[in-house]
Structure 1
Amino acid sequence: MLNENTDNRRWGDVRLLLNRLLSEKGKILTLYHSEPGNATQFNCRQIDLADVPALRSVIKCFQPDVILHAAAISSVADCEQAGREKVMNVNVSVSRTIAELCNEQDIKMFYYSTDLVYGGEQGSFISEAGKINPKSLYAESKYLGEIAVRESTDNCTILRTALMIGTTNIGKVNHFGEVLKNLVSGKAVKLFTDQFRTPLSLEEAAELTWELISTKESTGVINFGGCDRVSRFEIGELVCEIGGFNKSLLRGVTMDEFDVTYKVPDVSMNISKLLSIGCTPKTIQTQIRCELQRFSSLKGHRGKKK
């Protein structure tokens, strides 16, 4: 298996767990651009994915059965800062190239997309056939990446990934990590009450990815999320309940109050297809409990009852 990932936050975090899990299942090669994460603990190589001859050489030499393509400029803010040309090159053109190479060498490809392609205004529990309405440059580029991949190879699975919850002790601290850091320090945390997702923990995303790799039924577009529809504020409440943090530190806010440029009210996903393949995510309570235990082991922090 070849796990490639440039410097991005969402799937950069999951990559750390994928490297560990997949290395226990078989032979892996993990690629990185400039931030290795934990890649150096495994079989790895630094590469610019835009260098097609180098990429073709790596794939030909390693001869993977599966490629996990998680490389992207993967946040709304980072995409706006990078500009359209760079974003389209990294998120679309590179994805097309990898898909073409997979097609040439008969390799199964997994492409990580985003729930944000749905736009958030068509109700709850959206199916894979739901209306596509990307609002941000990031969401648009990920959907165009989906199209590029599907045009280039039939042997692919598109995973429209939900909000990721969890944190690591390597690299930049993500939003969930910042929330935990503030709760541990007794600082107030502002969370949206009017944005709904079907989140997955980092660990659960890695486990489900392995389950999908293990089955030949995982093809086409799959909503890759959890079973539970929750707001960010409700996630915060569960973190406090399970971790023993002070709930009074939570401040519920609306997207209007924060003047969010790209408002995405509800991109909760229907995961019937994922379930039909035999992949059943744990409850959000269990996922959060596991992530808090992992956080405690990484950081040595524990919540205190208030």
Structure 2
Amino acid sequence: MKVLVTGVKGQLGYDVVRELKKRNISCLGADRNDFDITDEKTTKKFIFTYMPDVIIHCSAYTAVDKAEDEPILCRRVNVDGTRNIAEACKQIHARMVYISTDYVFDGDKDGFYDVDDETNPQNVYGQTKYDGEQAVRNILTDYFIVRTSWAFGINGSNFVKTILRLAKENKALNIVGDQYGSPTFTQDLAGLLCDMIETEKYGTYHATNSGICSWAEFAEQIIKDAGLKTPVNHISTADYRTKAHRPLNSRLSKTKLLEAGFKPLRDWHDALHAYIKLLERE
């Protein structure tokens, strides 16, 4: 099996390539310097040269607030780019893994979102990721769409690294306490994606580390695990205005993942603790 991973310089793509190599699976990690996913000809030329059996598509426009100012660029990357890759997969009979987001939902539901619940994105980023999902579904039959949330990994910037920096620079932090979801260690998610491509259990899944918290609770645990003492003030979304609207509830049900026989990811507390230990060794 040969696997092409897009977005290798991002958090998830980096860990996916590392996991594939650990499993001795032939792989190639690519980024925007290798080919521009928004250019159909360039994309197909690169893919047809490598001829992968699977493409794990981790490349995306993920600057949620900036996307409100750059909707056209965000759409070109998340929708047009995804469509180009899906069409290339169809032509060479390759399978595809598409990474999506909790932001396809509006956050108004009580309880957990199931994979088949009605979507209703409330920001540009979420809408383009959902439209990317639809492009994959319309073109392919052999695909995995994996929605995740609150990602943190070794390669790149993320909430954990930001909180560690701010906690050292400030006497106290004001963090939103009424948005709930699940953090996801990209190293753990990478392992699951590699498990998936060794099966034919195609479809849409939700995958995050286990357990639920608010952003403020997440920040408190980050600070505690790092051995810091900076207090966290829980504030409301209404008191922390951002360009892009964010869902209050991002709880994602893992029922379909479990029914398919995939092993759930460990509790986010354990994942965070392991991640901070890794950062300390960096």
TM-score (norm 1): 0.85
Structure 2 residue aligned with 1:17: 15
Q: Which residue pairs with 1:4 in the alignment?
A: 6
- Tell whether 2:251 aligns with 1:268: yes
Query: Share of identical aligned residues, percent?
Result: 24
Confirm whether residue 134 of structure 1 aligns to residue 117 of structure 2: no
The letter of the residue matching 2:61 is: I
Q: Is 2:179–2:215's contact at 8 Å kept on the other side of the alignment?
A: yes
Tell me by how many angstroms 1:60 deviates.
Answer: 1.9
Aligned with residue 103 of structure 2, among 100, 116, 123: 116
Q: Tell me if the contact between 1:128 and 1:223 (Cα under 8 Å) persists in the aligned partners.
A: yes
Q: Name the structure 1 match of 2:180.
A: 196
Deviation at 1:101, TM superposition (A): 1.2
Is the Cα contact below 8 Å between 1:164 and 1:199 reproduced in 2? yes
2:69 matched to 1:66? Answer: no
1:209 matches 2:193? yes
CA–CA distance in 1 between the matches of 2:167 and 2:199?
40
Residue 244 of structure 1 corresponds to which residue in structure 2? 227
Amino acid at match of 1:133: N
In 2, distance between residues paired with 1:67 and 1:290?
Answer: 28
Structure 1 186/86 Cα, relative in aligned 2: closer, same or farther at 3 Å? closer
CA distance in 2, matches of 1:98, 1:5: 13
Partner of 1:176: 160
Deviations 1:176-232 (A, max 9, x none): 211012234565332211000122112111122112222222x11111222211101
Contact 1:3/1:69 (8 A) holds in 2: yes
- Alignment: residue pair count: 277
Indicate the residue corresponding to 1:304 in structure 2: none
1:6 CA drift (Å): 8.0
Note if contact 1:103-1:155 (Cα within 8 Å) is conserved in structure 2: no
Conserved 8 A contact 1:162-1:225: yes
CA distance in 1, matches of 2:246, 2:81: 28
**Cα deviation per residue 1:66-103 (whole Å; 9 max; x = unaligned)?**
10112221121231232x22222211112112111111
Q: How far does residue 64 in structure 1 lie from its aligned partner after superposition?
A: 1.0
1:221 and 2:219 equivalent? Answer: no
Contact 2:12 2:153 in 1 (8 A): no
Deviation, 1:287, is 0.4
Q: What is the aligned partner in structure 1 of residue 29 from structure 2? A: 30
Partner-residue secondary structure (3-state), 2:238: coil
Distance across 1 between alignment mates of 2:265 and 2:169: 31
Q: Equivalents in 1 of 2:241, 2:72: separation in Å? A: 26
Q: Secondary structure at the match of 1:129?
A: coil
Q: Give TM-score, length-normalised by structure 2.
A: 0.92
Decide whether the 8 Å contact of 2:172 with 2:233 is kept in 1: yes
Letter in 1 for 2:75: M
- The aligned amino acid for 1:50 is T
Say whether the 8 Å CA contact 2:8–2:14 is kept in structure 1. no
**Secondary structure, aligned partner of 2:62:** coil
Partner Cα distance (1:167, 1:98) in 2: 26
Report the 3-state secondary structure (helix = DSSP H, G, I; strand = E; otherwise coil) of the residue aligned with 1:76.
coil
**8 A contact 1:226–1:271 mirrored in 2:** no
**For 2:74 and 2:170, how far apart are their aligned partners in 1?**
38
Amino acid at match of 2:194: W
Query: Tell me, which stretches of 5 or more residues in structure 1 are unaligned?
Result: 35-45, 299-306
- Structure 1 contact 33–47 (Cα < 8 Å) conserved: yes
Q: 1:243, CA displacement in angstroms?
A: 2.9
User: Match of 1:41?
Assistant: none
Q: Distance in 2 between matches of 1:162 and 1:274?
A: 15
Q: Which residue of 1 aligns with 2:90?
A: 103
CA distance in 2, matches of 1:6, 1:135: 28
Give 1:283 shift. 0.9
RMSD: 1.8
Residue 57 of structure 1 and its aligned partner are, at CA, apart by 2.3
